Amino acid sequence: MLRTLSIRDFAIIDRLVLEFAPGLNVITGETGAGKSILIGALNLILGGRAGSEMVRAGADRAVIDAVFDIGASPGALGCVADLGFDAEDGLLYLTRELLSAGKSSARIGGRPAAVAQLKAVGDWLVDLHGQHEHQSLLASARHVDILDEWSGPEAAALRGETALAFEALRALVRERDALKTDERERAHLVDLYAFQTREIAEAALSPGEEEELAQEARRLSNAQKLACSAAAAAQALSGDGAEGAVQAIAAAARELEEAAALDERLAPLVAAVNGARYELEEASRDLVRYQGSIEDNPKRLEQIETRLEAVRALKRKYGDTIEEVLEFGRQIAARLDALTHREDRGRELDAEISAADACLADRCHALTALRTSQARAFAEAVLAELGDLAMERTRFEAGIEPAQRGPTGADRVEFLIAPNPGEPLRPLARIASGGEMSRVMLAIKGAMARQEPLPTMVFDEIDVGVGGRTAGVIAGKLAALARAAQVLCITHLPQIASRGGSHHFIEKTTASDRTIVSVSTLTADARVQEIARMLGGADVSEVVIQHAREMLGAA
């Protein structure tokens, strides 16, 4: 469940902290007070789209923080763990920061996270229903998703397999279509690929070759300098007379050896000096050998330069490194092979396409069978919810018809309803009453919640166009849902507001020419006044106040 939502410099909100309770939390206030901004902030923290216009004017950034208690939600805990984050003591901390320049960042459990990861976690935390949510129910394309979601993990697995089978088939078809290119274009490509393959193969490149050649070229170009340096160094180490370093250190060793005979503490120094002497003697011999190995070979240098220029020419055409040139050659050789053996590959593709098509058909058939078996149970669950919403004589079905195969199967699902006895079943989109549509939506959401309730459900003014007895019925259903999950509801209806276990009041004021939005949790007396305002508008009489008390008492 959502424990805390903290908002700073978001839209017209300066600073706001809301603490929510289990059960039904209602949020009320005058029209335009900023209630829907709260939903926008919540949507942002759940990985929704961000825009620089969301940052409060004059601020450099907007920050949204939320704390969720997911200790009782294995699915959410598993998702968080799978993404590599932690929920300490079952508490999950989410942060979304949006800069006025347009960039945004996210954190999960205090650690940087991608927005996609935030959304993946958010899908386990909150089910958000906006005031225009019922419009999505009017689109029959959404119905198959709802039925599959109701059907649970088996449907999700089958849909995943179907999507993979569809993509595999599509990839094979694309490859086969690519083989059917114009014959003249194919001949041109064969000539081009053959030339490129031959040019790279004949070069006989080796990884690391360029660096080795460059080093050898440097040695050959500086042969005289290297020889002179080696000779000078060798002379300095072992020159004639007492001028060489080796002779000097040998003299030092002799003096120390004589002194060590008188004072044994000098013995380690004797060993150290003799060790240095032996190393210098070996270095001197190595320098003499190195000097002898120096080759002044202009012809070899010319060969190397010619080879390096050939390597650079290939790199200009095929890649930045020898490894990339060789990889390009392998790719071109594969394309050449595909073009020259097009007929063979075409026959292979026909067989592969036939097998992939059969695999897709099998997955679609299994998905259709599952949907058909689940559609009746889903309809019964929705009808049970509609009965609670005073639509007990309604008929409802999830109709399934064949459709063109695609990544979601080969079915067209459409919800059919007859709100009144004697009427034929019609598509849900033909329901004219806003009150009926709101109740159908609540029934579907209630049925979904029975299958796998989310920790938090949010309803943003789903009561638009609803009043009278229907408002009371919807209020009862929301209260019932709140017994299984935390419910947050923005509402204009006193019938719903009176059922809340926690009541938050939002208002908008102006101070120092700036708009300020504030939220307060209402006390018992303040709730009476707010319910009375919702009942009677600006004219709140004692009769209206008494009515408000009665509503709260009944709730």
Per DSSP, the residues of 289-338 read HHHHH----HHHHHHHHHHHHHHHHHHHHH-SSHHHHHHHHHHHHHHHHH
pLDDT above 90: residue 163: yes
The residue to which tokens 């060489």 are assigned: 244
pLDDT mean over 299-327: 88
* Cα–Cα distance measured from residue 128 to residue 462, given in angstroms and rounded to the nearest whole number: 11
pLDDT above 80: residue 470: no
Q: Place 504 in a pLDDT band, splitting at 50, 70 and 90.
A: very high
Q: Which residues 6+ apart lie within 8 Å of 143 measured at CB?
A: 137, 398, 413, 414, 415, 428
* Cα–Cα distance measured from residue 475 to residue 500, given in angstroms and rounded to the nearest whole number: 9
pLDDT mean over 33-45: 82
Please give the residue that has the higher pLDDT: either 300 or 371. Answer: 371
Mean of pLDDT over the chain: 84
pLDDT above 70: residue 133: no
pLDDT mean over 201-229: 83
* Cα–Cα distance measured from residue 386 to residue 390, given in angstroms and rounded to the nearest whole number: 6
Looking at residue 376, what is its pLDDT? 94
Please give the residue that has the higher pLDDT: either 328 or 440. Answer: 328
Looking at residue 304, what is its pLDDT? 83
Looking at residue 185, what is its pLDDT? 78
Burial 24-41 (b: 16+ CB within 10 A, else e): bbbbbbeeebbbbbbbbb
Q: Place 328 in a pLDDT band, splitting at 50, 70 and 90.
A: very high
Q: For residue range 63-115, what is the model confidence (pLDDT) as tens digits?
A: 999 999 988 888 788 888 989 998 888 899 999 999 988 888 999 998 999 99
Q: For residue range 519-541, what is the model confidence (pLDDT) as tens digits?
A: 888 999 999 988 888 887 767 77
Residue count of the chain: 555
Lowest-pLDDT choice from 55-59, 321-325, 340-344: 340-344
From 394, 536, 382, 551, select the one nearest 475 (Cα to Cα).
551
Q: Where are the beta strands (DSSP E) in 216-269?
A: none
Q: Which two tokens stand for residue 466?
A: 């609803």
Please give the residue that has the higher pLDDT: either 53 or 93. Answer: 93
Q: Place 265 in a pLDDT band, splitting at 50, 70 and 90.
A: confident
Q: Which residues 6+ apart lie within 8 Å of 307 measured at CB?
A: 213
pLDDT above 80: residue 201: yes
Q: Which two tokens stand for residue 353?
A: 């396409």
Looking at residue 402, what is its pLDDT? 94
Q: Place 370 in a pLDDT band, splitting at 50, 70 and 90.
A: very high
The continuous run of DSSP H or E covering 440 comes out as helix 434-451
Please give the residue that has the higher pLDDT: either 351 or 124. Answer: 351
Looking at residue 464, what is its pLDDT? 63
Work out the angle at residue 206's Cα, subtended by the Cα atoms of residues 201 and 208, and round it to the nearest 5 degrees.
150
* Cα–Cα distance measured from residue 301 to residue 199, given in angstroms and rounded to the nearest whole number: 24
pLDDT mean over 11-40: 84
pLDDT above 70: residue 131: no
